[in-house]
Structure 1
Amino acid sequence: MFSTFRGLPATVRTLFAGTIINRLGCMVTPFLVFFLASRGVTGAQTSLILGALGAGGLLGPAVGGLLADRIGRRPTMLIGLVGTAVAQGALFLAPGVALMAAAALLVSATNAMVSPAVYALMADSVDGPRRRQAYALFGWGINIGTSIAGVLGGFLAAHGYWLLFAVDAASMLAYALVVATRLRETGSAARGGDGSEETGAGYGIVVRDRLMLLVLPVLGVQSFVYALTEAALPLAISGSGLSPTVYGTLAAVNAALVVLLQPLVTTRLAHLPQLSVHAAGSVLVAVGVAMTGLADGVAGFVVSVVVWSLGEVVVAGISATVVSHLAPPHARGRYQGALNWTWGVARFTALTVGVLLYTAAGPAVLWWTALVAGVTASALSLGLAKRVTARTRHALAA
């Protein structure tokens, strides 16, 4: 499996190892509802805290992308990682709902700051043709760490929720140590600039990029469809009268498929047009998600998960690669921040509008929406392929 990623620079391999360490400790959020219940937090109060958690996921990428270009990739990662560790402690110790909500906002915001800096750092370190392998390796590390964390989290929660917070904070600090000792700066700080080479400030350079403004909504719709696997799949399982254990089993199936197949699929598809591959994979995701509406037992749910998991494997690393090619070198952090912000919006929409459609309009409406939206977005991405390819060739030749 590792032969797929042979030859990537040490920076990418270090980020891969650090990401696994980091993701091994991402256990608080999945068990947050149970922790809040143990503290006597009511359902309405829990919704407030979860809303704050979602809001932080929208704020963090925008701030992280801006800082990655302004002060550098490494400082931004260190601020995010150390800040998340501190916020985890604040969330555990918070004496009231308002402080819990504020801490939850900080947890998700600081944690979400890290990814734009990581993606920008990898784009700085890897030449264009190999960026997809680099981003796929990063995603592979996320899945490996998350898979182990899912099992470990259940064990630790049974022995005390404080263990979840302690391990999460320790993993963040361990990753920060890796960043501080094993990585070198490649962004504006390394060049002696301030990341403001373009006219205007902040995300103006992204907003003025017409092609980027066409690409982001398409990727956002595709991300929304995928995010329904987190938002609506549990509702479908519950509605079928199945136990939460089934959801855990399906999550394990998804993780196993991604971890086992991603290196092979990434190698096989590396030389094909990336937007065409992404469109095909996104259709698989949309079909798999829509098949959830046909499932009437465990076997049906397993088949649907296998289909959208294969789609997830196919698209791995492509969206970040496309955006890295569109971004000017001095604005890579902000372009990746915009991409991560789009993902945050998609996930937030799936958790709100998606669940509302399921409960108010009915499951069939949601599954048909997912299928039509996913296929339409994939068709639109193919329509943009010629312009993206031309821009990519120009960027790689420069």
Structure 2
Amino acid sequence: MRTVQGWLAETFGGLPKTFWYLWTGTLINRLGSFVLILLAMYLTKERGFSESQAGLALGAWGVGGAVGTMLGGVLADRWGRRPTLLTAHLGAAVLMVALGFARDLPMVIAAALLLGFFAEGTRPAFSAMMIDVVPEKDRLRAFSLNYWAINVGFACAALLAGLAAKADYLLVFTIDAATILITALIIFVKVREPRRAAATATATKSGTKSSGNMLTPLRDRAFVSFMLLNFLIAMVFLQHISMLPIAMSDDGLSPTTFGSVIALNGVLIVLGQLFIPRLIKDRGRPQVLALAAVITGLGFGLTAFAGSAWLYAGTVLIWTMGEMLSSPSNSSLVAELSPAALRGRYQGVFSLSWQGASAFAPVLGGLTREHLGNSALWLGCAVVTGVAAVCYLSFGHVWERRAAVLRSVTATPLAPTTRAPESSTTDEEPLTAHPAPDATLPEIAANQQPPTSRLTSVP
């Protein structure tokens, strides 16, 4: 009993209440995330579009998301986390319903583009706020808990999506929009702007503090190398949304079967994700990420040989184990590579790797299946993740050195007159000085980064 109580306290205890409000909003939002799960199948089977046309619509979502995450990151730093989150959630709810009523391809693409812009524009502000309010020592645990909530919702949504689609596809879009509005209501009522974010936004508006610009993270070569590798992994991972449902449909499997198979992803994460932080906390993050890439590639590669629901389920379980290993290490490393005054921008640019993959993955996946065949797509995924694993091992020391330098900068407090009161430190870390990376890390940029030609040749 003491062991169980100790585990519960170690897993759930000591986190600030703002984190739990954000966590609750995440869970509710994901419980209704039907649309992205079924969009490819909806467009091809219900609307009669070709695989390439469906890929274009999904790609438009990714393009809109890419712009949304960049602008969302800037707004999170300049305008504030909370107003950015509220605006983006309200816009996403409206566009979700609009996509459900769209009929011809141009309207579908336009609605998907705008929906991607608003829906993905929430990510940088959400991530930056979570980093603001959770102390560094608890972030690996907090990210694992949040990822757990995402997958509790995803597992339920995957099961319910097929049932909702049988009743009426418009119901899928309506429920998704409703959960987005509920999340916005939680943020409006319960979540307040973090002190650090408010101070940064006020200083930026008054012109007393330079926080860099939208492109500042792209000049940080350590960060960019990490982002490019995440892009490769995301290109593979997002095939489960775009091409996997089509492959299963071609094998005669129904939307309900797809929902049940893909729900295993969420179920496994729900059962096992809370144990992952203890498993990996004393291991090097680059090594964990390399192992995760190999396991992910194995799962997607074996999809080439699947033809029944049971075989597809087996591949999902394999690549889910890779996902479980990579998620907390990925999130905590991104947090440590982001200077505090630029967290919104860094989170926005990092989200760009996912949005870029959202734009390219369905298009390239659709073209590969159409012209080279199903097996070529999935075996190619295994090759890509193998390359990424080698790169994680090669560049890992660069990211850890950079994170160590930023931690030392974070540990240096501002003058006493600008320090936050001691009584308010329970909800977020103390205000500290965070110069821009170019000013504080010249030795890393000059001596510790891989050559630019090596970084740009990774993809």
Report the TM-score when normalising by structure 1: 0.89
SS, match of residue 203 in structure 2 = coil
Q: Structure 1 stretch 253-262 or stretch 273-282: which is displaced more?
A: 273-282
Between the aligned residues of both structures, percent identity stands at 33
CA contact (8 A) 1:128 1:396 kept: no
How far residue 45 of structure 1 moved from its aligned partner, in angstroms, is 7.1
Query: Measured at CA, do residues 224 and 38 of structure 1 come closer, stay the same or move farther in structure 2, by a change above 3 Å?
Result: closer
How far does residue 95 in structure 1 lie from its aligned partner after superposition? 7.7
User: Counterpart of 2:21 in structure 1: which amino acid?
Assistant: T
Q: Indicate conservation of the 8 Å contact 1:188/1:194, yes or no.
A: no
Cα 1:74–1:295 shift into 2, 3 Å: same
Counterparts of 1:284 and 1:171, CA distance in 2: 33
Is the Cα–Cα contact under 8 Å of residues 80 and 114 in structure 1 kept in the other structure?
yes
Code of the residue aligned with 2:24 in structure 1: it is A
Distance 2:308 2:392 in 1: 34
RMSD: 2.7
1:72–1:190 contact (8 Å) kept in structure 2: no
Q: How does 1:21-40 map to 2 (within 5 A)?
A: 21-32=28-39
Q: Residue 252 and residue 383 in structure 1: after superposition, are their counterparts in 2 closer, same or farther (change >3 A)?
A: same
Deviations 1:325-378 (A, max 9, x none): 111111111111111110111233221112322332233433332222212212
SS of the residue 2:214 aligns to = coil
Partners of 1:200 and 1:7 lie apart in 2 by: 33
What secondary structure sits across from 1:388 in the alignment? helix
Q: Which residue of 1 aligns with 2:152?
A: 144
Q: Deviations along 1:279-337, whole A, 9 cap, x unmatched?
A: 21121101111121233544433322221111111112322221111111111111111
Shift in CA distance, 86/97, structure 1 to aligned 2, threshold 3 Å? same
Cα deviations across residues 157-180 of structure 1 (Å, max 9, x unaligned)? 444444333322222221111111
Partner of 1:378 in structure 2? Answer: 389
Corresponding residue for residue 154 of structure 1: 162
Is the CA contact 2:162–2:256 (under 8 Å) kept in the aligned structure 1?
no
Deviates more, 1:262-271 or 1:224-233: 224-233
Which residue identity lines up with residue 17 of structure 2 in the other structure?
A
SS of equivalent to 1:193? helix
Report 1:113-132 matches (<5 A): 113-132=121-140
Q: Which residue of 2 aligns with 1:295?
A: 306
1:233-272 matched pairs, under 5 angstroms: 233-272=244-283
User: Which consecutive residues of structure 2, in runs of 5 or more, have no partner in the other structure?
Assistant: 1-6, 410-459
Structure 1 residue 102 corresponds to structure 2 residue 114: no
Question: Helix, strand or coil for the counterpart of 1:194?
Answer: helix
Give unpaired runs (5+ residues) of structure 1: none
Cα-to-partner distance string for 1:15-64 (whole Å, 9 max, x where unaligned):
11111111122223444467668996755876664443332222221121
SS state of the match for residue 204, structure 2? coil
Aligned to 2:189: 181
Moved more, 174-183 or 28-37: 28-37
Instruction: Flag the structure with larger Rg.
Output: 2
Alpha-carbon separation, structure 2, partners of 1:390 and 1:65: 25
User: Is contact 2:204–2:211 with CA below 8 Å preserved after alignment?
Assistant: no
Residue matched to 2:96: 88
User: How many residue pairs align between the two structures?
Assistant: 397
Is 1:78 the counterpart of 2:86? The answer is yes
Q: Distance in 1 between matches of 2:175 and 2:29?
A: 10
Change beyond 3 A, Cα 1:152–1:296? closer
For the residues of structure 2 that align with 1:359 and 1:114, how far apart are their CA atoms?
34
What residue number does 1:368 align with?
379
* Structure 2: distance between partners of 1:376 and 1:30: 28
| Residue 203 (structure 2) aligns with | 193
Return the alpha-carbon distance in structure 2 between the equivalents of residues 277 and 319 of structure 1.
9
